[in-house]
Amino acid sequence: MNEQDIKYLEHKSLKDVPGFKAAIQLRLKDGRPVFLGLRDDALSVFTDEGRQYFFDLEGRPWRLSTLNYTLHRGLSHYGLRLRKRPKERGGGYDRERLSDEELAEFCKELWQAGRDILDAIENTHPENIRFTKPGYDTAVGEIKPVIEKITKYSPEQIRQERERFESVYQPIPVLPPDHYRAFVLQVTEGCSFNTCTFCSLYRGIPFRVCSVEEFDEHIKNALAFHGEALRQRSTIFLGQANAISVPQNRLVELMKRIPEQVILSPAEERPVKPKWTRGKRLHFTGIGAFIDGFTGLKKTADDYRELWELGLDRVYLGVESGSEEILEWIKKPAQPDQMLETIARLKEAGVATDIILLVGIGGKEYERKHVEASIKFIEESPLTNGDRVYLSEVVEYSDAPYYQRMEHDRIPRLTEVEMKKQLEVFWDTVKKRKLQPVPYRIDPFVY
Ligand code: SF4
């Protein structure tokens, strides 16, 4: 190994990374070395100052990583800063939204890096290039077109991406964590209930189901917008809030339009393990969607089987609490027995089902009822091996009625220790049922 190779670990050079199908190491005009590695789904640029840039295959800035933090830009042209949370604070990442100015700075840095690299590729004699994989011509032939795309995203151009995104998509305020990198397709707008007091995600968006013609157009526009960057996405997620609430005939008609434009894994091959770098453009492993226990009962197991055959392989049900009284109090339009029956029908149809429980909902006043009823719900639910229970700390949005109700009724919140204890009780119950507990935080998220 040559000491001039940029390393990614103390004893490993970047050129040892097997995921790069093409790679080059060269020097910029000012002498700084950079390593360019092209994977099936992204281009990575490493500097010897510890800054790493990542671009999608359309050349759009995607991530900037340093030792202390990572900046992430979503397709919607909003940004996040992620910082590692210490183990004693639960691990994972603290996520905060970037201001428009911070996002602009980050995009500008990556755009400038693209310009400097293009200049170096065009003006460096192949003999002065440190390392290429596989050979110079092939590596440059693969990497240069992506760099040329990067240089087109000037500060002015990248700002316009938000408008482009909004011409294709309604807002995407939340996704289940295993679908953060899904290809989202929206068959509905808004939520058909909008009653849950703790949720303000879709307030002000009237509920509407797309027509078949609109959905065809939406798929076409979404494909064009993602472009080559679609290689980063291996699943499809049907939005917005509770897409499965669409009446069966209409939903079937809409879902049948999807394989007209993309390739879905055949039903008999499922479950397919998602791979982030499938490298097969337009090939998806399956379809996920949110569901609710009330409209969920309007479909039979045969209906769910029909949706499964059309690609639906996992749904997400916001149970929130196993207590009927709490569900009424938070105006959730479903009762525990309705949700249990919905799960039973989904399981009969072979659809993987994840549920979400809210840790700390109802504060001290409902603590005992919430714990007892939710344990009972988990124990009685027909969930099966491989299904997950997301344990999500209740978040109080000041504009949502839940917060106002807690304040008005002077209900004490659980302390940090009490929250932790409740989470542990649920965690143990889920484990005993041989299901998968997953900690879940409704943190800032960008699509
Ligand atoms: S929690 Fe779900 S069902 Fe309730 S208002 Fe929000 S999106 Fe709609």
- What dihedral angle (degrees, nearest 10) is formed by the CA atoms of 214, 182, 396, 295? 50
Q: Could you tell me the domains of the chain?
A: 7-153 (no CATH), 169-440 (3.80.30.20)
Q: Which residues have C-beta within 8 Å of that of residue 303, sequence separation ≥ 6?
A: 248, 349
- What dihedral angle (degrees, nearest 10) is formed by the CA atoms of 184, 187, 193, 194? 50
The per-residue pLDDT for 313 is 94
For the entire predicted model, the pTM comes to 0.93
Contact by Cβ (8 Å): 364, 411: yes
- CA–centroid distance, 436 to ligand 1, in Å, is 23
Q: What is the 3-state secondary structure (H, E, C) of 301-327?
A: HHHHHHHHHCCEEEEEEEEECCCHHHH
For the residues of 382-395, what is the DSSP string, one character each? ---TT-EEEEEE--
- CA–centroid distance, 195 to ligand 1, in Å, is 7
- The confidence band for 276, taking pLDDT boundaries of 50, 70 and 90, is very low
Q: Which residues have C-beta within 8 Å of that of residue 442, sequence separation ≥ 6?
A: 174, 392, 395
The per-residue pLDDT for 280 is 54
302 or 4, which is more confident: 302
The per-residue pLDDT for 6 is 76
The per-residue pLDDT for 197 is 96
Classify 294 as helix, strand or coil: coil
CB atoms within 10 A of CB 404: 13
Ligand 1 closest atom vs CA 320: 1
Contact by Cβ (8 Å): 257, 278: no
Residue 206 clears pLDDT 90, i.e. is over it: yes
Mean pLDDT of 346-364: 97
The per-residue pLDDT for 88 is 76
Ligand 1 closest atom vs CA 193: 8
